[in-house]
Chains A and B, each alone.
Chain A
Amino acid sequence: MSTALKDLIRNPTIAELELVARFAALKADARRERLFEAFAQTGLPGRRIEGWRWTDFKAAVTSLDALKAAPVRDPLAQAGVATLRFTPAGYTAPATLPAGLKLLAKDDVQAMGGAEEAPLGALAAALSGGKTPGTLLVDVSAGAPVHLHMVFEGPGAINSARIVFLLRPGAELHVSESHLGGAALSTALVEFTLNKGARLHRTVYQIGGAGEAQAVTAIIEQDAGAESVLTTLAFGAKVARLETRLVHRETGSKATINAAYLAGAGLQADITTHVRHGAPSCVTRQLTKGAVLDGGRGVFQGKFHVPRTSGQQTDASMQHNALLLEEGAEVFAKPELEILADDVQCAHGNTSGALDAAQLFYLRQRGIPLTQARAMLTEAFIAQALEGAGDLEDALRAEAQAWLNHAA
């Protein structure tokens, strides 16, 4: 390894040195280098960096030894839906793809906008290649809705993947992603460009072990009249960050960004979003719900950025509600607004607390045991955030239900 590479990260940890070595082993490429440099500015981000104060990858990822994790069931697997599979060992795609969908595996690495703002996304992009394509392009053309499923799973040391979607004008994509962990560090970067009038339904399921670090970074750019409906259910990991960066590029674009997190003992789930209203008259609706047990931590960081002039007539609302189901649970939130245009509506709300004692009492007097009453109320509380998942709503709800029954 050259000294220049070693010096990329200031005071690197053992894990960061391992990442530098992995990068050095890949085919040299100017774009890859730029992406790795974007990551190296922070290294594994930690609490000293504003956006990562509650989600400390630097402290959590101590080494990158391969884990021997048992396979995890994938609740979003559906018969008849084409599935792309990403593991530390490589990538597989089905022989036949649905009509309207084209895959293009490119050897070289494509540039990534805003790499500095998403260091773990940049890392995923910089480490793609070798066993996986440098960039996997997915082209979706207009016509009947296209369904696609993607699985990210171990076992192994590092699982990094990058997928770039292009939704042509009027195209409709239903994509589901199961991030099942199994590697010491899993980082996925998924990018979507929605051309005029395109529609995206993205459903994300995330689960991870108490010894794993996971990052899922989504970058979404929307043209005129495009619409996205995003639904996430996260169970966390030692550290798990699910970050969505969305830009309304043209007038009339709409986004619904919903997420639910359920974090048990020793697990942390971080839902972070950044929405830029870069064009007039765009709409964002955001709802995040969470429930946390003793020893768990939930993090919500939301930001609406409304630029001067271009952000006029923005209509955006952000809501985060969390339940601390037991003493010892932690919920940290930062619902942020940055508004530079005067004719806009931006609302944000944040609450956290315990279940309503009156509601619990009501159920108990109907003869429902306390544990079951708690599970029922929590499920009802979470459910609203999963409503946008369409056909997959039931599968997500069943997972939430199982977790709650187990927690009770």
Chain B
Amino acid sequence: MDCCGGMDEHDETCTEVKVKEGIDAGTVAAAKRLESENYSAGFVTDIEMEFAPKGLSESTVRFISAKKGEPEWLLEWRLDAYRRWLTMEEPVWARVNYPKIDYQAFYYYAAPKNAAKYKSIDEVPKEILDTYAKLGIPLREAEVLLGVEGAAETAATAREKPRIAVDAVFDSVSVATTFREELKKAGVIFMSISEAVHEYPDLVRKYLGTVVPATDNYFATLNTAVFSDGTFVYVPKGVRCPMELSTYFRMNAESTGQFERTLIIADEGAYVSYLEGCTAPMRDENQLHAAVVELVALDDAEIKYSTVQNWWPGDEDGKGGIYNFVTKRGDCRGARSKISWTQVETGSAITWKYPSCVLRGDDSVGEFYSIAVTNGRQQADTGTKMIHLGKRTKSRIISKGISAGKSDNTYRGLVSIHKKAEGARNFTQCDSLLIGDKCGAHTVPYIENRRADAQLEHEATTTKLSEDQLFYVRQRGIGEEQAVALLVNGFVRDVLQELPMEFAVEAQKLLEVSLEGSVG
């Protein structure tokens, strides 16, 4: 692997890392804890699996569609995408290097045997339940409920330990979805997308592919052709989803690719917070993960999407690991809607991921908050796109990249203000920290402004006025970052601290990091 972008060769014999003076020791320790030798989710679950024939062809697409008993329109959509994919070229612009992927070497469908969908949690094989338990994701509602309604429970601890509904995706299928009935009472639809295709075909058809079209990019088109499962969420008008929703993705089988598709719709005035977690066993081979996530927020709706991505990163020599090529996009379709992305990226050998917001509705808000830590030979090229189309749309980007070992960490972002985006506003801050002298940190921001009344600030303020505002807020004892949040988005938040406990283990550790001593 060419981890320094072909500039200079690493000295292979040198293992000692000298850390520059001024870098917080806690940060170095936090990054160290994330090294692959400390990867705790790397075990394999031994369970009988059913595979699609290896490789990719029209018949693979038909096989997956048939497995799921899909309607004709969906099969056609998949086949169109597959045919288009054949004509497309894999993108090469990201600052990542990896050997050419042999798309015929993967299984595009792998499911635990007899697992069309387990009717009740009792039917889920013990091996799978154990797997999730081991990862700290309890699927049995009873256990979850016990945790919440235990005798010693006080109101305060109940607040600290909110209930979470989980959709567990094991390789290509969703094996369990908890709290479905309770959510249904609130009108919230939370189920796997394969089920939603049957139960709510009109909703799925209305929104699927409208944010990330089948033609969007190489990996999204591949996903469209072969997506196996994923989560579907619909929150009806005016409903605040009563609990956190989450999906836990687990890749288990060898030589498989995981291609999940998530679709979340928040109808007018709705609110939903959704989390996803990802892990995979340690293997010497590279596995492919090409997901698509589509979010739609209508008038006054808000979607909060958090990710703790901890796919197997490969060992310290760069052997194995997940190729994480993901297309995530949120469409703020309605006025005053809001979509916020939070990501804690610690895993994957290669990350290629740009969760984006299309700010279409007037006064809509987009946020991107990211911490990416790379170790060993990991390469991450991640960032966001904020497309301002509507009037008075606002966005905020905070990205912190920490590179250690022989890794490369790139922030790549686009802020685009279109002609009709009157009074749009963006603030971007991206900090990078290098731990040791064998890693790299890169920043590639694109800023396109087509509005005179837009205010765009990338680690700098445009006018004296903003400096004065900032000073005013800061002298009230509010930290700079929060002060910027106040001024740009009008409120303070710290997404990471809001992550539910189950997902917050890595995130909490990362909260200790400080970007003191950053290079740029």
In the bound complex, residues from chain B placing their C-beta under 8 Å from that of A319 are 460
A-B contact pairs, 9 of them (CB 8 A): A308-B438, A324-B451, A334-B444, A336-B443, A338-B442, A349-B458, A351-B462, A356-B465, A359-B464
CA of A254 to CA of B436 in the docked complex: distance in angstroms? 26
The size bracket of the interface on B is: 35 or more
Using A307-B7, A308-B7, A342-B435 as known contacts, say yes or no to A337 and B443 having CB atoms under 8 A apart: yes
Which B residues, 182 to 200, have Cβ-Cβ distances below 8 Å to chain A?
none
Task: State the CA gap A334–B457 with chains docked (Å).
Answer: 13
Number of A residues with CB within 8 Å of any CB on chain B: 44
Chain A residue at smallest Cβ distance from B414: A334
How far apart are the CA atoms of A323 and B519 in the complex, in Å? Answer: 28
Q: A391 CA to B435 CA in the complex, in Å?
A: 46
| CB of A266 within 8 Å of the partner chain | no
Complex Cα distance A343/B449, Å?
34
A332 and B441 within 8 A (CB): no
Distance in Å: Cβ of B487 to nearest Cβ of chain A:
14
B20 at the interface (CB under 8 A from A): yes
Q: Which residue from chain B places its CB closest to the CB of A354 in the assembled complex? A: B452
Residues 425-457 of chain B: 1 if any A CB is under 8 Å from the residue's CB, otherwise 0? Answer: 000000010111111111111111111111111
The 9 closest A-B pairs by CB, nearest first: A349-B460, A346-B520, A324-B452, A342-B434, A350-B458, A351-B462, A356-B463, A340-B440, A353-B455
Contact flag A344-B446 (CB < 8 Å), given A353-B456, A356-B464 = no
State whether the Cβ of A345 lies closer than 8 Å to any Cβ in chain B: yes
Q: Give chain B interface residues in 341-400, CB to chain A under 8 Å.
A: none
Contact A342 B445, CB 8 Å, known A327-B452, A347-B520, A358-B465: no
- What is the CB-to-nearest-CB distance from A356 to chain B, in angstroms, rounded to a whole number? 4
Segment 1-38 of B: residues with Cβ below 8 Å from A: 4-5, 7-8, 19-20
Identify which of residues 290-343 in chain A touch chain B, using a CB-to-CB cut-off of 8 Å. 304, 307-310, 312, 319, 321-322, 324-343
Binding site for B on A (CB under 8 A): 50, 304, 307-310, 312, 319, 321-322, 324-354, 356, 358-359
**B residues engaging A (CB < 8 A)?**
4-5, 7-8, 19-20, 93, 432, 434-465, 519-520
With A327-B452, A352-B454 as given contacts, are A339 and B464 in contact (CB-CB < 8 Å)? no
Asked if B462 and A321 sit within 8 Å, CB to CB, the answer is yes
Residues of A within 8 A of B4 (CB): 308, 340
Chain A CB within 10 Å — which of B20, B447, B457, B461 has the most? B447
Q: From residue A341, how far is it (CB to closest CB) to chain B in Å?
A: 6
Which A residues touch B440, using CB under 8 A?
A: 308, 338-340
Could you tell me the distance in whole angstroms from the C-beta of A282 to the nearest C-beta in chain B?
A: 15
Chain B residues with CB under 8 Å of A341's CB are 434, 437
Provide the residues of chain A in CB contact with B458, threshold 8 Å: 335, 348-351
Chain A: which residue is nearest B428 at the CB level? A350
* A329, A340, A359: residue with the most chain B Cβ atoms closer than 10 Å: A340
Q: How far is the CA of A36 from the CA of B441 in the complex (A)?
A: 35
Nearest CB in chain B to that of A326: its residue: B452
Q: Are B462 and A307 in contact (CB under 8 A)?
A: no
> Closest residue to B425 on the A side, CB-wise?
A353
* Residue from the list B435, B437, B445 in contact with A336, Cβ < 8 A: B445
Q: Does B434 contact A339, Cβ atoms closer than 8 Å?
A: yes
* Given known contacts A342-B436, A342-B519, A347-B520, A352 and B449 CB-to-CB distance under 8 angstroms: yes
Q: When the two chains form their complex, are residues A308 and B8 in contact, meaning their CB atoms are under 8 A apart?
A: yes
Cα–Cα, bound, A334→B456 (Å): 13
Give 14 A-B pairs besides A312-B437, A350-B445, A351-B457 with Cβ atoms closer than 8 angstroms. Answer: A304-B520, A307-B7, A309-B437, A329-B450, A333-B448, A334-B447, A335-B458, A340-B4, A340-B439, A342-B437, A344-B520, A350-B457, A353-B454, A356-B465
Chain A residues with CB under 8 A of B435: 342
Of B20, B448, B462, which one neighbours A342 at CB under 8 angstroms?
B20
Name, among A319, A351, A353, A356, the residue most crowded by chain B CB atoms within 10 Å (CB to CB). A353
For B442, the closest partner residue in chain A by CB is A338
In the assembly, what is the distance between CA of A319 and CA of B448, in Å?
Answer: 16
Q: Is the CB of B454 within 8 A of A340?
A: no
Contact: B437 with A351, CB < 8 Å?
no
